[in-house]
Amino acid sequence: MANADLVLAERAVREKGHIARNTAALLAAVPIGLILFFLLLPTLIVIPMSVGTSPYIEFPPRGLTFKWYEAYFSDPDWMAATWFSFRIAVATTFTATVIGTLAAVALIRGRLPAKEYLQALTLAPLIVPHIVIAVSLYLFFAPLGLVGNFYGFVIAHSMLAVPYVVITVSAALQRFDPNLELAALNCGATRLQAFFHIVLPNIRPGVAAGAVFAFLASFDEATVAFFISGIEGKTITRKMFEDIDFNLTPVIAAVSTVLTLVSLVLMSRIEIARRRSDHGRRE
């Protein structure tokens, strides 16, 4: 009897709790909605602006036009900057992914002196303010003729991007069972064969994620690019920075939209892949 009373009483309390929680949830939803609006608005506002007809930046836009995209794609300066950025990003992706993957293997699986210091050094470019790196690189590159230079950019951006690759590949390596590699070695594979046939396929998602981060770390990078760009060799971000300061037209909104779409498409692919592998592991 007492037991049944207790059950009833508990249910009553729980229901009361439910009502209170629902009211609280509703009350919380409004400010949280406003905060999310504050987060999202400045990110997405450039998209409607890029299709407005007015030559001045205005919102909400009047009329629908793609002339700013046409202007972007037919302007040789914008195209040169875009192509320059793209070439740098591709080369950076390759360099940073190869260097970062090799280093991650050594850092996770290898016997190395002063490993902690190496790990700290690897993460340093993420912590040190980019303005410090930018000014330092400008000072270093200028006398070497590497300002506005493709190779100068690849060195700078690879250095900025390589920590992302080391982080993602290290995480994948920590999940990889080294006994699989041992089995391959016991079956007569060489280290190199075991790496390419056993280790690499298993850590591929980590390597792929690192490569995407590296591409975006280069393509979207603005601070260092602002300082080490030249009059000829100029990235899309440097060109944007200049135009925002001197020539604020809706073409910048069109360029921004293109940059945003590139980032969102690449990152959401990584996020979807990550969620899928998370689910696979849980089940």
Partner 1 sequence: MRAKPLAGSPFGGRPTSAQEYGPGLSLLLVTPLVLLLVGGFLYPVGKLFWGSVFVPEATFANYARILQEPLFLLVLCRTFEIAFVVTALALLLGYPVAMAMARVSGRTAMLIAACVLIPLWTSVLVRSYAWIVLLQRNGVVNNALIETGLTGTPLRLLYTQGAVIAAMTQVLLPFMILPIYSVVRNIPDDFVRAARNLGAGSLQAFFRVTLPLSLPGVTAGVLITFILSLGFYITPALVGGPGTLMMSTLIGQQTTELLDWPFAGALAAVLLAATLLLVIVFRRALALNKGFKLG
Q: Which of residues 169-228 bind partner 1 (CB under 8 A)?
A: 171, 174-179, 181-182, 185-186, 191, 216, 220, 222-223, 226-227
Count the Cβ atoms, other than its own, within 10 Å of residue 91. 17
How many residues bind partner 1 (CB under 8 A)? The answer is 102
- Which of positions 147-166 make contact with partner 1 (CB under 8 A)? 155-156, 158-159, 162-164, 166
- Which of positions 241-270 make contact with partner 1 (CB under 8 A)? 241, 244-245, 248, 252-253, 256, 259-260, 263-264, 267-268
Three-class DSSP category at 34: helix
Min CB(4)–partner 1 separation in Å: 19
The single residue among 6, 9, 12, 35 that binds partner 1, judged by CB under 8 A, is: 35
Residue span 81-120 as binding mask against partner 1, x where in contact by CB under 8 A, dash where not:
-----------------xxx-xx-xxxxxxxxx----x--
- Which of positions 36-65 make contact with partner 1 (CB under 8 A)? 36, 38-46, 49, 56-59
Please state, in angstroms and rounded to a whole number, the distance separating the CA atoms of residues 72 and 54: 16
Min CB(29)–partner 1 separation in Å: 8
Contacts by 76-82, CB closer than 8 A, 24 or more apart: 77/239, 78/236, 78/239, 78/251, 78/255, 80/234, 81/234, 81/235, 81/236, 81/238, 81/239, 82/236
Min CB(120)–partner 1 separation in Å: 9
- By beta-carbon proximity to partner 1, the closer residue of 87 and 275 is 275
CA distances from 87 to 36, 75, 111 (A): 35, 18, 36
Min CB(13)–partner 1 separation in Å: 8
Min CB(220)–partner 1 separation in Å: 4
Min CB(110)–partner 1 separation in Å: 3
- State the DSSP H helix or E strand holding residue 105, giving kind and residue range, or none if neither: helix 76-109
Min CB(106)–partner 1 separation in Å: 4
Please state, in angstroms and rounded to a whole number, the distance separating the CA atoms of residues 126 and 276: 28
The single residue among 85, 168, 218, 229 that binds partner 1, judged by CB under 8 A, is: 168
Count the Cβ atoms, other than its own, within 10 Å of residue 150. 13
- By beta-carbon proximity to partner 1, the closer residue of 1 and 56 is 56
Please state, in angstroms and rounded to a whole number, the distance separating the CA atoms of residues 257 and 66: 12
The single residue among 7, 8, 128, 272 that binds partner 1, judged by CB under 8 A, is: 128
Sign of CA dihedral 128, 131, 134, 138: negative
**Which residues are CB-neighbours of 166 under 8 A, at least 6 positions away?**
100, 103, 104, 107, 122, 210
